[in-house]
Amino acid sequence: MKHLIGLVGTNSSQSTNRKLLQFIKANFQKEATVELMEIKDFPVFNKPADSVLPEIVQEAAEKIEKADGVIISTPEYDHAIPAALINALNWLSYDVYPFVDKPVMITGASYGTLGSSRAQAQLRQILDAPELKARIMPSSEFLLSHSLQAFDEDNRLKDSEQIEKLSGLFADFLVFVDLVNQLVQAHESNKKEAANFSWENI
């Protein structure tokens, strides 16, 4: 069975993105295991010259490295992903490169109508950066709008059409993981490019 990391894209204690990942974990437990990962205790990234990673970052990097894929669920703050998520991605691409060629699926939830659409578009561009270079599942989008009203008291999505859509995307993502594992030709050079991306030695 495949093992996935569900990255909670916020440091807020109240988060419908966390709820969404919890729902995914519970609802698809027969298809894959999903382990939620929190980012709120990551320190502020400031490009430390010694490149010594905080323990929490090191642990997170190892978990992602081992996982078959990552689902990132992001809210939208000011048309973009939260600073806390940028911060986590800054750490997770600084002398460690767990995202290189890692299959990633993006979901997002928002209180309003747009369901974090703009944040998701930016996140795709960010994950495409040379130090991250994730394999983002193309042509798929899961936008959960009005997320405060979207869950019942058992934390299940209320709308069966939403569940159906999510089920389809999740099944596709498991296929996508297999597919990406066959895309090995460029992996070594991607890895090298990411590692060579040094701020100071150019």
Partner 1 sequence: MKYVGIVGSNADLSYNRYLLNFIKKQYSDLFELDIVEIKDIPMFNQDNDQTNSQPIQELNQKILAADGVIIATPEHNHTIPASLKSVLEWLSFKIHPLENKPVMIVGASYYDQGSSRAQLHLRQILDAPGVNAIVMPGNEFLLGRVKEAFDENYNLKDQGTIDFLQSVLEKFNAFVSLVNRLETPEDKPLPEEDLYSSEPIASTIEGVDMAAEDWVEQAAEKVGAVEGDTYVKLNRGILTVDQINTFLASMPMELTFADENNQFLYYNYTKEAEDMLADRVPGQVGNPLVLCHPEAALKNVGWVVQQLRAGNQDVVRIHVPTHGPDKFVVHNYQAMHDEEGNYRGINEYILDFKPIVDWYLKQTGLKLEGDIDATSGASQAEEVEVDAGSGASVKS
Interacting residues toward partner 1 by CB under 8 A: 11-14, 40, 44-47, 49, 77-80, 82-84, 86-87, 89-90, 93, 118, 122, 125-126, 128-129, 131-132, 199, 202
Coil, strand or helix at 44: coil
Residue 29 or 51 with smaller CB distance to partner 1 = 51
Q: What is the largest CA-CA distance in the chain?
A: 54
Coil, strand or helix at 77: strand
**Rounded least distance, CB 157 to partner 1, Å:** 23
**Rounded least distance, CB 15 to partner 1, Å:** 10
**Rounded least distance, CB 85 to partner 1, Å:** 8
Residue 34 or 132 with smaller CB distance to partner 1 = 132
**Rounded least distance, CB 24 to partner 1, Å:** 23
Residue 21 or 134 with smaller CB distance to partner 1 = 134
Burial 78-112 (b: 16+ CB within 10 A, else e): eebbbebbbbbbbbbbbebbbbbbbbbbbbbbbbe
Check: CB of residue 98 under 8 Å from CB of residue 134.
no
Closest CA to 119 of 87, 161, 166, 72: 72
Residue 97 or 142 with smaller CB distance to partner 1 = 97
